[in-house]
Amino acid sequence: MAQVTGPLRLEATNGRIALELPKSAKATLNARSVNGGINVTGLTIGEGTGRRIRTLESQLNGGGPEIDLRVTNGRINIDGVETPTSPTNPTSQKS
């Protein structure tokens, strides 16, 4: 996902959710896992408590559109990635 431009909701009953977000994304993150856990890497969020994080609410970079993630039997993995750079246009050469 290049940027968060509007609300996003992802749900799974038996399986996992894996989401990659740019580290610079502005969003309000709400994640819940009934039987499983939530793992976040590469993003600055508040620390969870307890042995397993099952509920996470956090504003990324000041907040923005809502990202709502729900899973019943599975994990939620959220990874912060570097924002991809635009490819440069190669200059055409004439022979």
Name the average pLDDT for the chain: 84
pLDDT at position 5 is 85
In terms of pTM, does the model score above 0.75? yes
The arrangement of strands across the sheet holding 8-14 comes to: 8-14, 66-73, 27-35, 55-60
Per-residue pLDDT of the chain (95 residues; tens, 9 = 90+): 667 889 999 999 999 999 999 999 999 999 999 999 999 999 988 665 445 678 999 999 999 999 999 999 999 999 999 976 555 544 444 44
pLDDT at position 22 is 93
